[in-house]
Chain A
Amino acid sequence: GQNIDQPTEMTATEGAIVQINCTYQTSGFNGLFWYQQHAGEAPTFLSYNVLDGLEEKGRFSSFLSRSKGYSYLLLKELQMKDSASYLCALTDSNYQLIWGAGTKLIIKP
């Protein structure tokens, strides 16, 4: 079967760095997405990893280790607007997205 785990909620301070982890188990793997979802809004695409390693995009970076079934999203120089839920989703062997429940990130001044 397939399973994705993320922490339910995290708290961080404005200006700091936070790492949101995602672990998964799947029989087929075709990449992993991170999406951001502000309360009451649509999920929006942040990153896609299919090869091991770190992908950097401005203040956001995403890391993947396929052998460990592990990914993380790293947010630097946190801003209040980064308060949102962060969704991890993997593409399975049928090219369908399997979604984690999301991590609610709370930024405090």
Chain B
Amino acid sequence: NAGVTQTPKFRVLKTGQSMTLLCAQDMNHEYMYWYRQDPGMGLRLIHYSVGEGTTAKGEVPDGYNVSRLKKQNFLLGLESAAPSQTSVYFCASSYSDSPSQPQHFGDGTRLSIL
């Protein structure tokens, strides 16, 4: 009963390094999302996907790229990490975009950029 799984759980990077965060869901959900959560602010949508092979920009997409090659996986990439990208990153998924459908979240990735 895994739900949404994120790897890694923690990571420390140096400015300019690149990395990929992996999100996997086993609920056969069409929609997947990447958020960042910063102190004193609400969750902010980075990118999202409405199905395999599709991606779209959210509220704060700059500095990030995503891919959805398989329905169950949604990858978030940082090409050249910056200290402003220090945050907790959450992946979420939902069955559809129906307004009443809740999003199911992974446990988060805590990323520090030095």
Interface set of A (CB-CB < 8 Å, partner B):
4, 8, 30-31, 33, 40-45, 48, 50, 87, 89, 91, 95-102
Contacts and interface: CB of A to CB of B under 8 A. Distances in A.
A50 B98 CA distance: 12
B100 A87 contact: no
B15 to A, nearest CB: 25
B61 to A, nearest CB: 13
A42 B103 contact: no
Interface in B42-56: 42-45
Contacts of A33: 102
Contacts of A95: 97-99
A33 B37 CA distance: 17
Given A42-B106, A89-B43, A101-B40, 13 more contacts: A4-B42, A30-B99, A31-B99, A41-B108, A43-B43, A45-B103, A48-B100, A50-B99, A87-B42, A95-B98, A97-B103, A100-B42, A101-B41
9 contacts: A31-B100, A41-B107, A42-B105, A42-B106, A43-B43, A45-B104, A95-B97, A95-B99, A100-B42
A43 B105 contact: yes
A48 B102 CA distance: 8
B53 to A, nearest CB: 20
B74 interface: no
Given A42-B106, A44-B105, A91 B99 contact: yes
B43 A87 contact: yes
A37 B65 CA distance: 27
B90 interface: yes
A43 B105 CA distance: 6
Contacts of A45: 102-104
B100 A42 contact: no
